[in-house]
């Protein structure tokens, strides 16, 4: 097998130091939260390397560490932050309880994806002694120095530092934070051991006093302990290259002499909406979320097979759906062929040729997309079906889709097998209309009859197949057609984005509908990937009241994308975007329409904001505003053509209202606050459900976006005579 080696920047053969045994280390999870599917993509990559090597007679000793003193980023650690501890405090638990919980969840995720368990899963907190002893060794050998109970690695002592990542000279300083630790001799130096500050929850004794280890040192310690001083393969995601692996390499080679790792393999990122999947971009999905949307975890494995590990993979639900269909079709093959009897026939030149070409794909820098398409070609070849089945299951030993096991559970009750026999018989008699009627009746019952070579067979519908029958769903705002060119329909469109919190959704909608006695109105709802009973309730509501229209999204679209669907679908002369935390206590539509009748007014709402520096915004009661808050934001529909749709890079709701308000100001419209509107604000659950840290992080990202575009447009402000 040849793999792209980050260190040599070439595709190198795997040649284990000890013949027949490959020592592989994979950077594992930080267990203060669920792994997201981006993390899991990286673990899948290591799994395919391992399965590929094992299928070719090598044995693999695989170590995957559990980072249970969670220093996500070295600089965070250097500020004394620790995510495991922070989550523990927030949830009222001990760090150990938090770590244990998420470690279990991680193992369960890996199992559901068919990832083989590593030989060892060492926990960082069980190896602090080893970390201390490597640190001592580095001090002895002159690669480290101590200042006030802190030990730092001295980068200048290791001239090869920077070779793995290609970060040399000035580049190295880029990753260093402005408020660098004053105790460091060189800002590039990194922490091996940090003295515990007073009041710290978790710390260990050391020759330098109580403290806790750096992040990189844990991997140097655990890899050496279980694999020795030389590794054949080390894996991780590309974000691990620097500083984590650069630091790890410097430590290990400093302590034990080089070379530490032969082949460094780094998986490219999983993206969603074009950016790296991560908690802080609010675009991270867990396996559990995919499952709650009806997907089989294995569909994600299949999806990852379709893109080479060294390429980015942009995750979308439509791609996942296609992957699930592909998986289903492979399972169908297994299911169909396993009904055949006779000898398997896995010998012969043809079979051997398929086997060899499949392995060639795997060995060629893990070309899993090539291996998968070869698998498909094989299933369509003219080999006997029994041989195809045997080869397919053999290939699956590396693909890891668990094909054999998945069809075993396809049991059907007696009434369904009877229907299956009846359809077979009717088809044999060429009575197709009757045969199709039988199939339809079974379909309503949750089963599928499929006609295979050996006759009709029955299987339960997959979760996804059942869901797709409920109501149509969209995956992006692009899929929704625009009605902006259509003439006005009702006087008002009230647009609502609903995502769970059914009680709030009901309160909001039920408070608006009675206003229909006085106004012609419609309520347009984007059901933004709800997973509780909200979708079903909305569907029912729309069924009984034609003024309510629902567009279901198959996952949580970004806030701007969801609102753009509202903008495109609204037909009212006035569009009123309303948050589900808001309740109408009386007719608030008449005063809104009166304010918006003034052609110089672009948007209006009860909660306005003013600013004088574009950094601080204050709520105002009445009159000209610099922004209207999203709780209730109204404008004439005709203006959308001029102001345009919202910027979809705003995934999180916060500050999107500032952004959109400024789009109106820029076009020369005024914004009006109307404090006396009869609306009541209740708890805003999207906000209150977030931790302090999440609020801060998500808001910041959007505020920076806002500032980049509008930060120097002082002239638009009311205080500057703008608008």
Q: Which residues are at the interface with Zn ion (CB under 5 A)?
A: 27, 219
Residue with tokens 């922490």: 191
Residue 313 beta carbon to ligand AMP: minimum distance, rounded to whole angstroms:
8
Query: Which one of 14, 277, 592, 716 is in contact with ligand AMP (CB under 6 A)?
Result: 277
Select from Zn ion, ligand AMP, none the partner in contact with residue 270, using the beta carbon and a kind-dependent cut-off of 5 to 8 Å: ligand AMP
- Measured from the CB atom, the residue of 154 and 283 that comes closer to ligand AMP is 283
247 is an interface residue for ligand AMP by CB under 6 A: no
Select from ligand AMP, Zn ion, none the partner in contact with residue 41, using the beta carbon and a kind-dependent cut-off of 5 to 8 Å: ligand AMP
Residue 566 beta carbon to ligand AMP: minimum distance, rounded to whole angstroms:
30
70 CB-contact burial (10 Å; exposed 0-12 / middle 13-18 / buried 19+): buried
Residue 398 beta carbon to ligand AMP: minimum distance, rounded to whole angstroms:
21
- Can you read off the two tokens belonging to residue 143? 């690669």
Residue 597 beta carbon to ligand AMP: minimum distance, rounded to whole angstroms:
49
Asked whether 88 and 68 are in contact (CB, 8 A), the reply is: no
Select from Zn ion, ligand AMP, none the partner in contact with residue 297, using the beta carbon and a kind-dependent cut-off of 5 to 8 Å: none
Phi, psi of 552 (to 5 degrees): -90, 135
Taking alpha carbons only, the member of 85, 464, 128, 39 closest to residue 290 is 464
Taking alpha carbons only, the member of 662, 651, 657, 638 closest to residue 722 is 662
Which H/E stretch holds residue 492?
strand 492-498
Minimal CB distance to ligand AMP: which residue? 237
Give the number of other CB atoms < 10 A from CB of residue 395.
Answer: 24
Cα dihedral 535→536→541→546 (10° resolution): 70
Select from ligand AMP, Zn ion, none the partner in contact with residue 219, using the beta carbon and a kind-dependent cut-off of 5 to 8 Å: Zn ion
Residues with Cβ within 8 Å of residue 356, at least 6 apart in sequence: none
- Burial annotation 208-228 (CB, 10 A radius, 16+ → b, else e): beebbbbbbbbbbbbbbbbbe
Query: Which one of 54, 146, 229, 239 is in contact with ligand AMP (CB under 6 A)?
Result: 239
If you write DSSP's letter for every residue of 516-585 in order, what string do you get? GGTS-EEEEEEEES--STHHHHHHHHHHH-TTEEEEEESS---HHHHHHHHHHH--SSEEEEE-TTEEE-
Select from Zn ion, ligand AMP, none the partner in contact with residue 237, using the beta carbon and a kind-dependent cut-off of 5 to 8 Å: ligand AMP
- Measured from the CB atom, the residue of 25 and 395 that comes closer to Zn ion is 25
Asked whether 341 and 325 are in contact (CB, 8 A), the reply is: no
283 is an interface residue for ligand AMP by CB under 6 A: no
- Measured from the CB atom, the residue of 111 and 720 that comes closer to ligand AMP is 111
Query: Which one of 83, 123, 127, 276 is in contact with ligand AMP (CB under 6 A)?
Result: 276
**What is the DSSP secondary structure assignment for residue 66, as one 8-state letter?**
B
In 3-state terms, what secondary structure has residue 206? coil
Contact pattern for ligand AMP over residues 192 through 231, marking x by CB under 6 A: ----------------------------------------
Select from ligand AMP, Zn ion, none the partner in contact with residue 39, using the beta carbon and a kind-dependent cut-off of 5 to 8 Å: ligand AMP
Residue 27 beta carbon to Zn ion: minimum distance, rounded to whole angstroms:
3
- Measured from the CB atom, the residue of 120 and 461 that comes closer to ligand AMP is 120
Select from Zn ion, ligand AMP, none the partner in contact with residue 563, using the beta carbon and a kind-dependent cut-off of 5 to 8 Å: none
Extended beta strands in 612-685, E state: 617-620, 622-625, 627-628, 632-636, 670-674, 679-681
Q: Which stretch binds ligand AMP (CB under 6 A): 176-184, 268-276, 387-395, 551-559?
A: 268-276
Select from Zn ion, ligand AMP, none the partner in contact with residue 326, using the beta carbon and a kind-dependent cut-off of 5 to 8 Å: none
Restricting to residues 11-70, name those near ligand AMP by CB under 6 A. 27, 29-30, 38-39, 41-42
The interaxial angle of helices 385-399 and 37-55, nearest 10 deg, is 120
CA distances from 47 to 54, 111, 309, 344 (A): 10, 12, 12, 28
CA angle 615–616–619, rounded 5-degree value: 140
Select from ligand AMP, Zn ion, none the partner in contact with residue 42, using the beta carbon and a kind-dependent cut-off of 5 to 8 Å: ligand AMP
Residue 276 beta carbon to ligand AMP: minimum distance, rounded to whole angstroms:
5
Query: Which one of 52, 95, 122, 237 is in contact with ligand AMP (CB under 6 A)?
Result: 237
Residue 28 beta carbon to Zn ion: minimum distance, rounded to whole angstroms:
7
Q: Which stretch binds ligand AMP (CB under 6 A): 144-152, 166-174, 266-274, 461-469?
A: 266-274
CA distances from 369 to 44, 372, 408 (A): 14, 5, 26
Which H/E stretch holds residue 10?
strand 10-13
Residue 46 beta carbon to ligand AMP: minimum distance, rounded to whole angstroms:
9
Select from Zn ion, ligand AMP, none the partner in contact with residue 450, using the beta carbon and a kind-dependent cut-off of 5 to 8 Å: none
- Measured from the CB atom, the residue of 277 and 505 that comes closer to ligand AMP is 277
Q: Which residues pair with 619 in a beta bridge?
A: 609
- Can you read off the two tokens belonging to residue 723? 């608008």
- Measured from the CB atom, the residue of 27 and 474 that comes closer to Zn ion is 27
- Measured from the CB atom, the residue of 38 and 95 that comes closer to ligand AMP is 38
Residue with tokens 């005709």: 638
Instruction: Sort strands 144-147 and 211-213 into parallel, antiparallel or unpaired.
Output: unpaired
Cis peptide before 243 (omega within 30 of 0): yes
Residue 396 beta carbon to ligand AMP: minimum distance, rounded to whole angstroms:
24
Residue 450 beta carbon to ligand AMP: minimum distance, rounded to whole angstroms:
36
- Measured from the CB atom, the residue of 138 and 416 that comes closer to Zn ion is 138
3-state SS string for 388-431: HHHHHHHHHHHHCCCHHHHHHCCCCCHHHHHHHHHHHHHHHCCC
Instruction: Sort strands 313-315 and 270-272 into parallel, antiparallel or unpaired.
Output: parallel
Residue 58 beta carbon to ligand AMP: minimum distance, rounded to whole angstroms:
23
Q: Could you give the CA distance from residue 62 to residue 234 in angstroms, rounded to a whole number?
A: 10
Residue 281 beta carbon to ligand AMP: minimum distance, rounded to whole angstroms:
9
Residue 111 beta carbon to ligand AMP: minimum distance, rounded to whole angstroms:
17
Residue 656 beta carbon to Zn ion: minimum distance, rounded to whole angstroms:
37
240 is an interface residue for ligand AMP by CB under 6 A: yes
Asked whether 401 and 329 are in contact (CB, 8 A), the reply is: no
Asked whether 442 and 419 are in contact (CB, 8 A), the reply is: yes
Residue 263 beta carbon to ligand AMP: minimum distance, rounded to whole angstroms:
16
Q: Which stretch binds ligand AMP (CB under 6 A): 107-115, 209-217, 233-241, 692-700?
A: 233-241
**Which positions lie near ligand AMP, rule CB under 6 A?**
27, 29-30, 38-39, 41-42, 72, 236-237, 239-240, 267, 269-270, 276-278
């Amino acid at each position: 097998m040849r793999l792209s080696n980050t260190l040599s920047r070439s595709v190198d053969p795997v040649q284990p130091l000890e013949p027949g045994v490959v020592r592989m280390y994979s950077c594992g999870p930080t267990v203060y939260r669920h792994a997201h599917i981006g993390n899991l993509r990286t673990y899948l990559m290591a799994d395919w390397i391992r399965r590929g090597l094992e299928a070719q007679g090598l044995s693999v000793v695989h170590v995957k560490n559990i980072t249970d003193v969670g220093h996500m980023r070295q600089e965070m650690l250097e500020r004394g932050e620790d995510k495991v501890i922070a989550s523990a405090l927030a949830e009222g638990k001990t760090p150990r309880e938090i770590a244990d919980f998420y470690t279990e969840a991680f193992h369960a995720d890996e199992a559901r994806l068919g990832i083989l368990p590593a030989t060892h899963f060492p926990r960082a907190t069980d190896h602090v002694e080893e970390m201390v002893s490597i640190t001592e060794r580095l001090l002895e050998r002159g690669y480290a120095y101590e200042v006030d109970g802190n030990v730092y690695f001295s980068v200048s002592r290791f001239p090869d530092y920077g070779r793995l990542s290609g970060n040399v000279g000035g580049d190295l300083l880029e990753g260093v934070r402005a408020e660098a630790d004053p105790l460091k001799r060189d800002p590039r130096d990194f922490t091996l051991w940090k003295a515990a500050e007073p009041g710290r929850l978790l710390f260990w004794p050391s020759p330098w006093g109580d403290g806790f280890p750096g992040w990189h040192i844990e991997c140097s310690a655990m890899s050496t302990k279980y694999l020795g001083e030389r590794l054949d393969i080390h894996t991780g995601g590309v974000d691990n290259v620097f500083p984590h692996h650069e630091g790890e390499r410097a430590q290990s080679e400093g302590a034990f002499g080089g070379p530490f790792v032969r082949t460094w393999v780094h998986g490219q990122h999983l993206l969603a909406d074009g950016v790296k999947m991560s908690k802080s971009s609010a675009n991270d999905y867990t396996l559990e979320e995919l499952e709650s949307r009806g997907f089989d975890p294995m569909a994600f494995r299949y999806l990852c097979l379709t893109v080479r590990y060294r390429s980015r993979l942009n995750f979308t639900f439509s791609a996942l759906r296609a992957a699930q269909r592909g998986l289903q079709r492979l399972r169908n093959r297994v299911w169909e062929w396993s009904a055949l009897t006779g000898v398997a026939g896995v010998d012969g030149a043809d079979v051997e040729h398929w086997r060899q070409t499949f392995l060639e794909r795997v060995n060629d820098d893990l070309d899993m997309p090539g291996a998968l398409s070869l698998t498909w070609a094989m299933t369509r070849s003219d080999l006997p079906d029994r041989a195809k089945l045997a080869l397919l299951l053999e290939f699956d030993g590396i693909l890891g889709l668990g094909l054999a096991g998945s069809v075993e559970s396809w049991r059907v009750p007696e009434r369904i097998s009877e229907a299956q026999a009846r359809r077979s018989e009717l088809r044999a008699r060429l009575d197709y209309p009757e045969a199709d009627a039988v199939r339809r009746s079974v379909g309503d019952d949750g089963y599928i009859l499929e006609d295979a070579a050996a006759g009709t067979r029955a299987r339960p519908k997959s979760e996804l197949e059942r869901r797709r029958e409920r109501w149509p769903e969209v995956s992006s705002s692009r899929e929704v057609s625009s009605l902006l060119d259509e003439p006005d329909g009702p006087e008002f469109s009230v647009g609502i984005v609903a995502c769970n919190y059914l009680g709030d959704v009901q309160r909001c909608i039920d408070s608006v509908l009675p206003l229909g006695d006085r106004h012609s109105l419609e309520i347009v709802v984007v059901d933004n990937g709800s997973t509780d009973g909200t979708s079903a309730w909305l569907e029912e509501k729309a069924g009984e009241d034609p003024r309510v229209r629902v567009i279901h999204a198959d996952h949580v679209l970004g806030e701007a994308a969801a609102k753009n669907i509202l903008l495109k679908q609204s037909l009212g002369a006035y569009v009123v975007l309303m948050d589900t935390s808001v309740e109408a206590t009386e007719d608030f539509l008449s005063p809104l329409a009166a304010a918006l009748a003034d052609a110089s007014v672009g948007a209006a709402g009860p909660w306005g904001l003013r600013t004088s520096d574009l950094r601080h915004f204050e709520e105002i009661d009445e009159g000209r505003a610099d922004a209207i808050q999203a709780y209730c934001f109204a404008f004439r529909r005709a203006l959308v053509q001029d102001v345009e749709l919202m910027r979809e890079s705003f995934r999180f709701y916060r500050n999107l209202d500032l952004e959109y308000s400024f789009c109106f100001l820029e076009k020369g419209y005024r914004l009006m606050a109307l404090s006396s509107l009869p609306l009541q604000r209740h708890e805003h659950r999207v906000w209150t459900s977030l931790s302090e840290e999440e609020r801060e992080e998500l808001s910041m990202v959007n505020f920076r976006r806002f500032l980049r575009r509008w930060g120097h447009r002082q002239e638009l402000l009311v205080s500057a005579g703008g608008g």
